[in-house]
Amino acid sequence: MKSKLFNKVLVANRGEIAIRVMRACRELGIATAAVYSDADRNAIHVRYADEAHHIGGAAPSDSYLQLDRIVKVAHDCGAEAIHPGYGFLSEKAAFPDACDAAGIKFIGPPGSAMRALSSKLAARKLAVENGVPVTPGSGAITDPAAAVAAAREIGLPVLVKPSGGGGGIGMKVVESEDELDAAIESSAQAARSAFGDPTIYIERYVRKPRHIEIQVICDNHGNAVHLGERECSIQRRHQKIMEETPSPAVTPEIRSAMGEAALKAARAAGYVNAGTVEFIFSEGEFYFLEVNARLQVEHPITEAVTGIDLVKEQIKVAAGLELGFTQMDVTWTGHAIEMRINAEDPVRKFLPNPKRITRWVAPAGPGVRVDSGFGPSSDVPPNYDSLVAKLIVHGADRAEAIARARRALREFVVVGPATTISYHRAILDSPDFRSGNLSTRFIDDHPELVDRAKQLAGEVSPFDYGPDPRHVAAAAAAVAAVVHRTT
φ and ψ of 69, to 5 deg: -65, -40
DSSP 392-446: EEEESSHHHHHHHHHHHHHH-EEESS--SHHHHHHHHH-HHHHTT---TTHHHH-
Contact between residue 388 and residue 343 where contact means Cβ atoms under 8 Å apart: yes
| DSSP β-bridge partners for residue 340 | 390
- Residue 169 and residue 239: Cα distance in Å, rounded? 10
- Residue 146 and residue 174: Cα distance in Å, rounded? 15
Contact between residue 159 and residue 205 where contact means Cβ atoms under 8 Å apart: yes
3-state secondary structure of 348: helix
DSSP 185-239: HHHHHHHHHHHS---EEEEEPPSS-EEEEEEEEE-TTS-EEEEEEEEEEEEETTE
Which one of 20, 294, 340, 369 is the catalytic residue? Answer: 294
Contact between residue 359 and residue 375 where contact means Cβ atoms under 8 Å apart: no
Contact between residue 10 and residue 77 where contact means Cβ atoms under 8 Å apart: yes
Start-to-end CA distance of the chain, whole Å, equals 77
3-state secondary structure of 31: strand
| Listed residue (304, 340, 295, 357) closest to 44, CA to CA | 357
Sign of CA dihedral 15, 18, 21, 22: negative
Is residue 476 left, alpha or beta, with left meaning phi > 0 and alpha meaning psi from -120 to 50?
alpha
CA angle 126, 439, 147 (to 5 degrees): 50
Contact between residue 438 and residue 234 where contact means Cβ atoms under 8 Å apart: yes
Q: Is the peptide bond preceding residue 246 cis, with omega within 30 degrees of 0?
A: yes
Cα–Cα distances (Å) from 176 to 152, 199, 380, in that order, read: 10, 21, 43
294 is catalytic: yes
CB-count burial class (<10 Å; 0-12, 13-18, 19+) for 175: exposed
Q: Which residues are catalytic?
A: 294
